[in-house]
Amino acid sequence: MQRDALVTYLDDFLGCRDTPDYSDNGLQVEGSADVSRLAFAVDACQETIAGAVTAGAQMLIVHHGLFWGKVLRVVGPHRRRVQALLEGGCSLYAAHLPLDRHPEVGNNAQLARLLGLTVTGGLGEAFGLPVGVIAIAQAPETRAALVARLTASLGVTALVLPGGPEQVQRIGIISGGAARDVVAAAAAGCDTYITGETSHSSYHDAAEYGVNVIYAGHYATETVGLKALAAHLAGQFALPSAFIDRPTGL
């Protein structure tokens, strides 16, 4: 399909124009006019760009793009990344907060779905908009069972701060780097909070606010939305895709 038609669809579907963000969401680097194959990656780095070009993709869709609301000199690694995209005829499309908060393919909605939870509301704010979700289990279950299901789904070893009850049911979820929002989760009545990246400054909040905190990795918690978006676009436009996996371990 035409690149510009796909970009228009993505902008509308993800709500990129209506979502304020630190990231310059949308088409960041313009490649080939026609797109027959897509690639997806969490980060726009040299390895994922090379992987997308090698996979024959005409567009790489990422969560963390190359442009974040400030002027960047096109030198060093930044130049090499942009050059590789242009030489490979591969567009770069970024969706940061729009992909976190999307109700269908968003990272947080998808994490809730993977865990068999029902989303009942939003959690946390960025630019005045909720980013994460509050989700409910059909019946109380043990903290250990929830952790086991999460780690099996993402293929990670989670860090658990058992500050809350052993029986859990009301879970707050914000993917990526949102350790500080344990306070928001507690205020929303959550007994458990799932996020990606750890933070020393938030360590004591788990115990003192009485909330279990599960850190499942910044990278791992932000793969799920991209994979859901890939499946959506395959169904919508029959566009095949490759997921370029470059885990950071963080």
172 & 199 share domain:
yes
Please report, for the domain that includes residue 125, its CATH number.
3.40.1390.30
What does the pLDDT read at residue 250? 92
3-state secondary structure of 19: coil
The boundaries of the domain holding residue 47 are 3-95
Residue 10 within any structural domain of the chain? yes
Whether residue 203 sits in one domain with residue 177: yes
Q: Give residues with Cβ within 8 angstroms of 196, minimum separation 6.
A: 175, 176, 177, 178, 215, 216, 217, 218, 219, 220, 221, 222
Asked if the structure places residue 43 within a domain, the reply is: yes
Q: What average pLDDT does this structure show over 30-47?
A: 98
Q: CB-based contacts of 104: which residues, under 8 Å, 6+ apart?
A: 228, 232
Same domain, yes or no: 110 and 214: yes
pTM of structure: 0.96
How many CB atoms lie under 10 A from the CB of residue 233? 24
- Return the H-helix or E-strand segment holding 42: strand 38-43
| Residue 192 sits in the same domain as residue 122 | yes
Instruction: Give the pLDDT confidence score for residue 236 in this predicted structure.
Output: 97
Residues 125 and 211 in one domain: yes
Tell me: the pLDDT tens digits for 101-158?
999 999 999 999 999 999 999 999 999 999 999 999 999 999 999 999 999 999 999 9
Shared domain for 81 and 173, answered yes or no, is: no
Q: List the end-to-end C-alpha distance of the chain, in Å, as a whole number.
A: 36
The pLDDT score that the predictor gives to residue 172 is 98
Both 113 and 198 in one domain: the answer is: yes
Our count of domains for the chain comes to 2
Of 95, 122, 156, which residue constitutes the final position of a domain?
Answer: 95
Mean pLDDT for all residues in the chain: 97
Residues 203 and 119 grouped into a single domain: yes
Longest Cα separation, the chain: 55
Collapsing DSSP states into helix, strand and coil, what is residue 176?
coil
89 and 105 share a domain?
no
Whether 12 and 76 map to the same domain: the answer is yes
Residue 93 near residue 85, CB atoms below 8 Å: no
Residue 40 in 3-state DSSP? strand
The answer to whether residue 167 is domain-embedded is: yes
pLDDT tens string 147-167:
999 999 999 999 999 999 999
Whether residues 47 and 105 share a domain: the answer is: no
